Amino acid sequence: MMFDPATQQAIENELNRAETARKNANEGMARVCARRAAGMAVRALFTATAETSFDPSAYALLTRLQAMESTPTEIKEIAGNLLTRVTPEYQLPTQIDLIAQARLLADWALEQIKGDSFD
């Protein structure tokens, strides 16, 4: 099993928007797009593994993924980074490439779907 074509395209579109925003020095929009892409991947994972009654927002999906005991530590950290609030100056408190992290999370989610190994 893989992401369905529409989901795969939507994730790629969001990641491309994130890259474009970064090139235009709009890191805030890049962060939003990266979080949305990661949320789409998590939604697909939860759907594939028959998780029920989840809030469709990327924020809620990432929060739920981060709270699950079965989620690997690295993925929990990535989810946490994607959930990190910006400072009053609209900067992240640490230098993290959220676009790269969203890609890692999406790749991980796809591997879980393929292997059905996520509990």
d(CA 18, CA 33): 5
Given a contact cutoff of 8 angstroms between Cβ atoms, the answer to whether 3 and 113 are in contact is yes
- Calculate what percentage of the chain has a pLDDT beyond 70: 88
* CATH fourth-level superfamily of 5-115: Nucleotidyltransferases  domain 2 (1.20.120.330)
- pLDDT tens, 8-65? 999 999 999 999 999 998 888 999 999 999 999 999 999 888 776 667 899 999 999 9
pLDDT at 93: 67
CB proximity list for 35: less than 8 A, separation 6 or greater = 58, 59, 62, 82, 83, 98, 102
Query: What ranges do the domains of the chain cover?
Result: 5-115
pLDDT tens, residue by residue, 63-95: 999 999 999 999 999 999 999 877 677 666 678
pLDDT at position 1 is: 43
